[in-house]
Structures are given as C-alpha cells and as structure tokens.
Structure 1
Amino acid sequence: METKNEILNNNSNNLSSTKYRNRNLWSGFLFGIGFVAFFDETIFHQLLHWHHFYDKSTTNIGLVSDGLFHAFSWFATIGGLFMFADLRRRNTLWLTRWWGGILLGGGAFQLYDGTIQHKLLRIHQIRYVENVFVYDLIWNILAIIMIIIGLCLVVLSRNRQHSGRTLT
C-alpha cells in the first residue's frame, strides 16, 4: 500500500508532467507563430515586395505596418526560445512535442493569415495578380499540412508519455 507521501508525490509528478508537457507545446507554438510570421515578412514583404502587412493605405503606412509585424514576429520567436531554454535547463524538453507545437503554431498563423487577413478582412493579398486563387490555394494547403503534421507529432508525444517510454 502506498503511503500518503507517495500518493502526494505521484500527484505532484503528474501535475509537473502536465505543466511541462503544456510548456513544451506552447513554447513550440509561440516559436512557430514567430518563425512563420518572420519568414512571411522577410520573404513576401521585403524581398519579393508582393505586399505589405496593411495595404489599404499609403506605401509609408504599409512600411510602418511591416515594421510592427516584424517586431511582433521577433517577440513571439524570442519568447518561444526563452521558454525552450528554460525547458532545456530543467531537463524537461520533449522535442517531438515541441516540434509539433512549432508546426501547429506556424500552420495556425498561416491559415489565419490566408483566410482572415487575406479574404475576410482583405488587409492584403498574397500577391496582386490576376489569378490570386492559385497562390491562396497553395498558401492554405501548406498551412493545413503543417497543422496535420503538428497534430500527429503532439499525439505521438502524448502516446509516448502515457506508455512510459522516454520522451524525445
């Protein structure tokens, strides 16, 4: 029979395990949002000049909106990396779950961008061309693929934890 202290320790370990499981997911999610936003802003806004974050005003306003968007992406990326460093320091990093979080965060951001910002709010398009449908389709399909792979990794990491296997 277990003593009261053993039961409390087991409950404490379960709560701690849940806490770090969630931190791994949120660290990856935040990093994924920041990384995809940074990639979007760098490639499509700065290098290719396809659009600005906000295209319903002047070019100057578009550039300011790009700067704010860039700052947001860096804050999200750095925040996710600080959480990552803390998980490593505590020896509670579960890479499979963290990568799942990255793909979920990046895919969720990209799907939000492609549906809400591009189509619903119309604050910008991916590219201003005659047949933007192809660009929208590729953008959103890639987002869905990222979300599906991310979900698979998160479920895989959860199954590994419940089966008692080593988490990687």
Structure 2
Amino acid sequence: MATTTGEARAGTAQPASLQLPGIVLGVGLGGFVDGILLHQLLQWHHMLTSTNQDHIGVKYYNPKTVSGLEMNTVWDGIFHTVCWIAVLLGLAILYSRVTHSRRRVWTSRVLWGWVLVGWGLFNLVEGVLDHHILGIHHVYAGEGQVWWDIGFLVLGALLVAGGYLLQRSGRPFDPSAPTRREARRA
C-alpha cells in the first residue's frame, strides 16, 4: 500500500494479484446466477433445450418430456459442477495470494470489480458459444430469441465495463503487504 493510485498508474507496477482470483470467482458466480435463475427458477432453458435447431447435431432432448428433462437436468448438473469448481479454484487462488488482511480483501473494490468482469466474461463466452455458435440453447427460446441472446451479451459487456471501472476506482491492494497494525506488531 505504499503507492497511491496516481503513482500506480504512472508506471510502478500495481499489484494485479486480485485480478485472476476475482475473474475466476466471477466466472463461477456468474454461471451460478445463470443456472439458478434461468435454468431452475424461471425454467427458460436448460443446457440442451435447443438442440433440435443446433449447429452441431446434438441429439434433441425435449424438456417437456420426463426423459428429455432428465437428460437436460444431468447436463445442468455438469454445468453447475464446472461453476462450483471455478468458485473453489477462485477462492483457492485468492486464499493463496492474500497473506495479510484477509478480512479487508472482501471490501475491496478491486476484488469486486474483477468479480464483475469475470461474470461479464462468462456471459460473453457462454452467450457467443452456446447461443450463437453451437446453438444448443437460447436465453429464452421462441419468437424473438435472438433479442434475448443479444441482451445477454449486452449485459455481459456492461458487467465487464462496470467491473473494470469499479476495480480502477478502488485503492491498489497489495494482498501480501501487512497492514500498519500488523507492521507495528512485527
């Protein structure tokens, strides 16, 4: 914490150690929001609900049938497993990098900005890949589905931009530097 925001931007290296764990956490948490809200609560789609119109030839599992819903639920579970692993990995990286002031990191704009960037990146990658390139599902299938898919991408871009601005507005956070109180004790 020896540098000020101006000095960090003027050329001295700003600690970037919250960037990777924040982004990885954001990817996992963004995936959970998608899976819990859109797959489970609203039931707008599951992982394979548009494979009758996909671009790669995946077998169609109609979510309106018991066997189709079972297969979509299995793939939703695989999706949630990947999200869970991303959250655990993000927490592990964060824990390994933050050696002092662990409580303080959770109030850091830098960390939460990078989490929003990760969530936005999740939306952008998942939206382009699953909705547009593969076509295995859409945000809300049916008439106007392209607008729902585009809205998902716009939300992702806004999350990336907002998260980037939030982390830039935060104080540089060096997770390995002791606080003044910890330095006095040593």
Give the TM-score normalised by the residue count of structure 1: 0.73
Count of paired positions? 143
1:76 maps to what in 2? Answer: 86
Q: Measure the CA separation in 2 of the matches of 1:80 and 1:116.
A: 23
Write the deviation string for residues 87-118 of structure 1: whole angstroms up to 9, x where unpaired. Answer: 44433748222112101110011011222210
Write the deviation string for residues 112-158 of structure 1: whole angstroms up to 9, x where unpaired. Answer: 1222210111011111121113312321221111111122234345x
1:44 maps to what in 2? Answer: 38
Q: Which runs of 5+ in 2 are unaligned?
A: 1-12, 52-59, 62-67, 173-186
1:103 maps to what in 2? Answer: 116
Work out which structure has the larger RCO, using CA pairs closer than 8 Å and 6 or more positions apart in sequence: 2
1:165 maps to what in 2? Answer: none
Cα RMSD of the aligned pairs, angstroms, is 2.5
Q: 1:52: Cα distance to partner?
A: 1.2
Q: Measure the CA separation in 1 of the matches of 2:16 and 2:47.
A: 31
2:7 maps to what in 1? Answer: none
Q: 1:30: Cα distance to partner?
A: 0.7
**Any conservation in 2 of the 1:23–1:83 contact (CA below 8 Å)?**
no
2:76 maps to what in 1? Answer: 66
Amino acid at match of 1:83: I
Amino acid at match of 2:125: Y
Q: Measure the CA separation in 2 of the matches of 1:149 and 1:47.
A: 26
Indicate the percent of aligned positions where both proteins have the same amino acid. 28
Write the deviation string for residues 55-107 of structure 1: whole angstroms up to 9, x where unpaired. Answer: 32322332211010001111111222233334444337482221121011100
Instruction: Judging by fraction of residues, say which structure has more helix.
Output: 1
Structure 1 residue 22 corresponds to structure 2 residue 35: no
Q: Measure the CA separation in 2 of the matches of 1:87 and 1:102.
A: 16
1:32 maps to what in 2? Answer: 26
Q: Measure the CA separation in 2 of the matches of 1:46 and 1:145.
A: 24
Amino acid at match of 1:41: G
Q: Measure the CA separation in 2 of the matches of 1:104 and 1:72.
A: 18
Q: Measure the CA separation in 2 of the matches of 1:54 and 1:26.
A: 30
Q: Which runs of 5+ in 1 are unaligned?
A: 1-16, 162-168
